[in-house]
Structure 1
């Protein structure tokens, strides 16, 4: 009898071990506004100057997706899509004014129910309390670059240090607690960087001072034939704030920053940090103020300052990705851990004269995506399959051996990652919809379709214009061919495909949402929530009496 029990216990233990070893750990690293152009694995000239060797390690040891897209190029909506595997109109988070229903089905909550230990550390930015996580330690709203507040449960803690480093510190501590557990883990590491206003750590504040970044050919774009592009407010040399974004001082020898300093920019810094920051910028600001530049020279100077700060901020992200990779290897976790690096969307690095995102143009529509899983993905693969952030959830569930819910709108990338080839029945086009107008940067609402060779965009709400691009002949999207007679058959073909994609995505009819004021909806919702809180407070006060 004792022998039988011993055999039974060994068998049970073996099954538990097998279940854990068969189900991979998952580490999903997502930065904020990291342009594909600033990852050297993608071969852009910017990244030749500012390489990202650690993110490149994931690509070299796994697979790189060259045609990776978002469904809505905006921070909060992109995160909601990633978590739910659903388009914005299905998960309810269309604009940054919305509030995410964290209780709805997400791939992370499904994994938690299926025996995974789950965690999220860093930027959340969904205006709700995380659910589906055994552990969460998130930044307050957007977070700060220095000395941030971290929220965990009911506790808010001020922590001194550089936020990118701190997020990684907390992530490694959490993984250390999980490494010998019987259960696999899934961890979301969400960096604030390199979100606006691109504050690098002091150690890298002068990293790129003596280099010259290549200026995009369309930096001085005149937006001819593109009304929505002409009416935006995200131009580096016109709209970037000289104090807040570009850290410009008012005069030679002065440490007083120019207008538009946001209060949180330096209020978070300690006296020691503040002096180090001023010292890092003092000499180069003096040179700028003494140069007496004309308008064009100043426009080009602002581009260089933007790229210097942006890439220095990215360098810290890459450095911390390396810390995570080293930890996995040093602790024997690399072989059975899926590690993904991506961004919540793409970003402009001077193309069309811009910073920020939002448009369906390539720089913000595309997002970097690299993935490593040594047990199944052979090193050095690259794919041209058109993938989107609705696919992430189904992919992780597939690897975990969990059935993908039918209402998730994405498709698992596992077969593509394993074979490095695009399945014959894979999608031939992708759908996009951006809703936030009026809003920051005055980018018009828009939806559209992209195929391998062409793109059709409809800008709507307070305008009604279409744009069509031949991406092979015009990859920079400078020539709107919507009225070109030679392309009318192709344009009609894309109109039909766009209608098909909208039906497939279960998008409501155009007439139902084209005039909707999303800001007004958000204000009404906030008033309802405030009234509900007041009612609850009164009820509590009566009970206390």
Structure 2
């Protein structure tokens, strides 16, 4: 009898351990302007900075190598994630004059109905209050790096310290206080490493005055390219301000912070002023300063990732929590002589995407399928066991997480960027992307040009093959695919005329970009804060 009871007990224990886990938790770690080149798991040959915590997610899960954005700019991609819809359907086209319609369907609202407790902490940047969250504490507008003001469920508050650390501590505090009878969905959204790349005081001098390898295209001449590509205002050579270069001190530092800031920057700035650099020498100096500051911001984000992963381990949550780390788009770290994003070129089109889901995502794998932040809303709903609304435009990534790629997975992808003329004079353009090619149309206000990029023959994307007779059939096929994709995503051209958005949620005035201008004349004076 005792033997039989022991056998039954062992069987029950075995069945219990094999029983399905409860509804998965979701932790979405989202950065602003985090380039894949700055995550060591992606193996960028410049080896700009080591990111052991981010690398841990890749090591214990999946590194996606081709996660694309639909519109490479902060606010619009955040709206895409909330709704699972392209900009022309969710109504948030740009940072200059868009306001998010919070009455529309979003994945957090659907998760709430399914029994999740939701929170968003950090950068929001959609100009209206978050809806669909049990708790929110967000940065107004772009937010500040040091001692940041925030909005706590509608109430203005102010924190001391560095913004990345503040967002991390608030996120862990919410995890401790959340309703633990429900699965959670937490969007931990960092400001870093957004311009002006202001480092944590503890990481000033972190690289010991290292000289960073320059990208091959730092001095791209744009020869043979559209005016749309060469006539921009986002180059290290022409757009890098004194604040970008840390030649001026931020105004919101505490006396102690300022003392440390000045002790690091002022001696180096004095040498710079004495050198009186110009031309390529000035660009080279700016690039080195940019890399010091940007990578210092990334180091703080990596420390944040480590802290929250450790928390999941300590609380026994890691095994039942999907962790995704990504960014609203990629970013230029000197490639083509640029900073910022916006373009369909690879550095800004492609964003980092790391996934850890124990028991589902196979550890240490890579995936080269074309995926997108557009897919996140449906992915989160699928993870939660909820139906995916038919009007969402992505696809659940859960099959890819499981290593079960559907035979009909996308082979092409549609992109459309709208914001012009401020703040960087990047012409509106749309295009089709495949594994090898990009066919791009620059259409306003003073250009009507096409680019054909061949990533196989020209991985640096510095040549235009559009007029090459050898590519005539390729152009024809891609134009047909472009038309098909525009029909599939329900976009009609030209795009609608924009109206100026609500400024109340920002902490600084927004640029009045107005409509897409005619005859090359802008309708207002842009301010960099809208980036």
TM-score (norm 1): 0.87
How far the C-alpha of 1:20 sits from its partner, in A, is 10
> Which of the numbers 273, 287, 295 marks the counterpart of 1:289?
273
**Match of residue 458, structure 1, among 437, 441, 449:** 441
CA separation in 1, counterparts of 2:314 and 2:234? 44
Residue 272 of structure 1 corresponds to which residue in structure 2?
256
Q: Distance in 1 between matches of 2:296 and 2:437?
A: 34
Match of 1:218 in 2: 217
Which residue of 489, 492, 495 maps to 2:473? 489
Instruction: Measure, in 1, the Cα distance between the counterparts of 2:156 and 2:399.
Output: 42
Deviation at 1:361, TM superposition (A): 0.5
The question of whether the paired residues in 2 share the 8 Å contact of 1:209 and 1:308 is answered with no
Measure the CA separation in 2 of the matches of 1:415 and 1:202: 43
Q: Matched residue of 2:452: which SS? A: strand
* Distance of 1:269 and 1:197 partners within structure 2: 15
Deviations 1:178-232 (A, max 9, x none): 3x71110000000000000000101101112421111111111111122111111
Taking the aligned partners of 1:480 and 1:341, their CA distance within structure 2 comes to 33
In the other structure, the counterpart of 2:516 is none
Shift of 1:21: 4.1
The CA deviation at 1:109 is 1.0
> Residue 37 of structure 2 contacts residue 48 of structure 2 at CA under 8 Å; is this kept in 1?
no
1:35-114 aligned at under 5 Å gives the runs: 35-46=35-46, 48-96=47-95, 97-114=97-114
Q: Which stretch of the first structure deviates more once superposed, 230-239 or 363-372? A: 230-239
What is aligned with 1:164? 164
Match of 2:421 among 438, 448, 461: 438
Distance 2:24 2:143 in 1: 31
SS of the residue corresponding to residue 303 of structure 1 reads helix
1:363–1:49 CA distance, 2 compared to 1 (3 A): closer
Rounded to whole Å, the distance in 2 between the matches of 1:441 and 1:209 is 32
Give the drift of 1:45: 2.3
Aligned residue number for residue 12 of structure 1: none
Q: Post-superposition shift, 1:423?
A: 2.4
Q: Deviations over 1:12-62 (max 9, x none)?
A: xxxxxx99942100000100000111111110023x241111011111101
User: How do residues 364-379 of structure 1 correspond to structure 2 at under 5 angstroms?
Assistant: 364-379=348-363
| Partner SS for 2:119 | strand
TM-superposed CA distance for 1:296, in Å, is 1.7
Distance 2:232 2:497 in 1: 19
Contact preservation (8 Å) 2:432, 2:440: yes
Provide the residue aligned with 1:208 in structure 2: 207
Distance 1:440 1:389 in 2: 24
Cα deviation for residue 297 of structure 1 reads: 1.4
Cα distance in 2 for partners of 1:445, 1:392 equals 25
Report if the CA contact (8 A) 1:20-1:184 is conserved: no
Residue equivalent to 1:260:
none
Equivalent residue, structure 1, for 2:500: 522
SS in 1 for 2:120: strand
Q: What is the aligned partner in structure 2 of residue 402 from structure 1?
A: 386
Does the Cα contact within 8 Å between 2:117 and 2:182 map onto a contact in 1? yes
SS in structure 2 at match of 1:441: coil
Q: How far 1:90 moved relative to its partner?
A: 0.7
Of 405, 414, 418, the match for 1:422? 405
Q: How far 1:155 sits from its partner (Å)?
A: 1.1
Q: Which residue of 2 aligns with 1:127?
A: 127
Q: Determine whether 1:28 maps to 2:28.
A: yes
- Residue in structure 1 matched with residue 294 of structure 2 by the alignment: 310
Following superposition, the deviation at residue 294 of structure 1 comes to 4.3
Q: 1:82 touches 1:390 (CA, 8 Å); kept in 2?
A: yes
2:491 is aligned with 1:507: yes
Give 2:285's aligned residue.
Answer: 301
In the superposition, relative to structure 1, how do residues 81 and 206 fare at CA in structure 2: closer, same or farther (>3 Å)?
A: same
- The secondary structure found in structure 2 opposite 1:267 is coil
- Spell out the pairing of 1:194-273 with structure 2 (5 A cutoff): 194-226=193-225, 227-241=227-241, 243-248=242-247, 257=248, 266-273=250-257
The question of whether the paired residues in 2 share the 8 Å contact of 1:383 and 1:422 is answered with no
Q: Secondary structure at the match of 1:45?
A: coil
Shift of 1:153: 2.4
- Cα drift, residue 273 of structure 1: 1.2
Matches of 1:157 and 1:208 in 2, distance apart?
34
Unaligned runs of 5+ in 2: 1-17, 505-531
Secondary structure in 2 aligned to 1:469? strand
Deviation at 1:384, TM superposition (A): 0.6
Question: Does structure 2 conserve the Cα–Cα contact (< 8 Å) formed by 1:112 and 1:132?
Answer: yes
CA displacement, residues 264-301 of structure 1 (integer Å, 9 cap, x when unaligned): x6221111111111112122222322334342212101
CA contact (8 A) 2:127 2:503 kept: no
- 1:464-479 to 2 correspondence within 5 Å? 464-479=448-463
C-alpha separation between the residues in 2 aligned to 1:19 and 1:145?
45
* 2:186 paired residue number: 187
Deviations 1:327-362 (A, max 9, x none): 001110000000100000000000000000000000
- Any conservation in 2 of the 1:33–1:344 contact (CA below 8 Å)? yes
Aligned alpha-carbon RMSD (Å): 1.8
Q: 2:526 maps to which residue?
A: none
Is contact 2:48-2:295 (8 Å) kept?
Answer: no
1:364 and 1:275 map into 2 onto residues whose CA distance is 36
- Name the residue aligned to 2:340: 356
> Which residue of 322, 337, 345 corresponds with 2:306?
322
Supply the distance in 1 between the matched residues of 2:274 and 2:294 (Cα, whole angstroms).
24
